[in-house]
Structure 1
Amino acid sequence: MDSSSTSEAGPSQSSTSFERWRSAFAAIAGPSSTPESEEDRMRLQDEKDYNKCEKWKMDLMRKSPMITFMLKQLDLAGCSFSPSNIQCYACPPTTSGGFSSELGILLCQNQLFGKKHLEDTLAHEMIHAFDHCRFKMDPENLRHHACTEIRAASLSGECNWAREFFYRGHYWNRATVGKHHQECVKRRAATSVSSNPACPSRAEADKAVNEVFESCFKDTRPFDEIY
């Protein structure tokens, strides 16, 4: 994990890794034609979002049982993370975070519902980092991609009932909570795999997830059980 920006520098920092994230998302978002006054407003909002994201990130890295546990496990696996390896940045509307073996972890400062959402997002990306550290993962292998997405969706907390009900509108029947958790994991994993440039269709993403689901869902490392 070789991301090198620092949390003290603020949203105007120009470190190599920050500029590479900027370039990656500029390519997605396309060229800007925003009027100057609107740019000023957006700049102020970006600064506000950035500062909030950084504060929450640092609080979680110090106090969250989930995040401190994952930091320790990554360190033991030989892939230590510091605040400079976890960056806040504005992203397109459909993205809340990302992991790159070269750049580290991205937290989308403008797509966070709250501190708990940031915690779940950070945990999700840290599980990806843990998997990358443990295995030689081929990003174009849909089964590899499906496995890490299954584990991240299941173990990070993003498929808990509150997130499903309040943010996604999926109703949970208390009598079948376990089944709904698995359905959420499959749905979230397939959506991620379908965005892989090597994936030709949603049907192929569903197929990859179904092929590895049983073994990858049972693999709860580094946890003893599902969080």
Structure 2
Amino acid sequence: MASSDPPSSSTPSSSFDRFLRKAQLVTGLGVTDEERAKDLEALNVRRCEKMKKDLMESSPLVVFMLKHLRLSGCQVPEENIFCVPCQSPYTTTNYTAHAGAYLPHPHGALKLCAGHFFSTQHVESTITHELLHMFDECRFKVDWTNLRHHACSEIRANNLSGDCRYFRELRRGFVGFTKQHQACVRRRAITSVAANPACPSLAHAERAVNEVWESCLSDTRPFDEIY
């Protein structure tokens, strides 16, 4: 005789139940703002992870950087590049939102801010930027508390990653025709160094960038030229 016990709570939801839940999250009917925010957060992380995986396999820039990191003795497992929710998500009015970060300790990792990207190319340039920091630390033993070291790596990362392409700057609200690329590299390098806890002030950041500007702007390793 068939059991009359109710279905286990672990029984998978039906397709209709999943559809209904998705509709609730999209429309906001029957769910809280917190539930909708959590669903969007999870969706952004999944999208970011997929783009990251695809780029690690097929992007000429990312594949090139991973190769040269291996040649320099630094392996970068896929799990060392990870997507997480971050504060201050990207919006159409916030073009300078934090998109990623290089985490040098303990073994070097790249954090990507899920939901802060407006295109696959944006993810690509962010990964490349942070891999350049990793390359500098691996190859040149960067001391991140030394403002000149930090400034040089920021100049190189902004110069070589594609972060300062003309249309990227236009999207940020910066319009210029004379030495636009150099102005972008300098501005972003100063901003990053100024955020270093070891940097006393914006003036110190500007001085550090100015002191290493010429030599670090012309240093395109491991590339032959600016991408």
Other-structure match for 2:208 = 208
| Residue 47 in structure 1 maps to residue 51 in structure 2 | no
2:163 counterpart letter in structure 1: E
- Residue type at the aligned position of 1:100: L
C-alpha separation between the residues in 2 aligned to 1:79 and 1:190?
A: 27
Gaps of 5+ in 1: 1-35
SS of match in other structure, 2:111:
strand
**Counterpart residue number, 1:98:** 101
Query: Alignment partner of 2:32: what SS?
Result: helix
Amino acid in structure 2 at the alignment position of 1:171: V
1:169 Cα deviation after fit: 1.4
- What's the offset of the Cα at 1:67? 0.6
- Who is 2:218 aligned against? 218
Match in the other structure for 2:173 = 169
Cα deviation, residue 203, structure 1: 1.0
Give the corresponding residue for 1:120.
Answer: 125
- Which of structures 1 and 2 has the bigger CA Rg? 2
Correspondence list, 1:65-76, <5 A = 65-76=60-71
Q: So what's the TM-score if we normalise by structure 2?
A: 0.80
Amino acid at match of 2:37: M
Using the size of structure 1 for normalisation, the TM-score is 0.80
- Alpha-carbon RMSD across the aligned residues, in angstroms, is 1.2
User: How far apart in 2 are the matches of 1:163 and 1:221?
Assistant: 23
Question: 4+ runs of 1 displaced by more than 4 Å?
Answer: none
Task: Tell me, in whole angstroms, the C-alpha distance in 2 between the residues paired with 1:188 and 1:45.
Answer: 29
Once residues 172 and 199 of structure 1 are traced to their aligned partners in structure 2, the CA distance between those partners, rounded to angstroms, is 29
Could you say which residue in structure 2 is the equivalent of 1:20?
none
Consecutive unaligned residues of structure 2, counting only runs of 5 or more, are: 1-30, 89-96
Q: Distance in 1 between matches of 2:32 and 2:102?
A: 33
The aligned residue for residue 130 of structure 1 is 135
1:109 is aligned to 2:122: no
Per-residue CA deviations over 1:154-202 (Å, capped at 9, x if unaligned) read 000000101011x2111132xx3xx211111000000000000111111
Higher relative contact order (CA closer than 8 Å, sequence separation 6+): 1
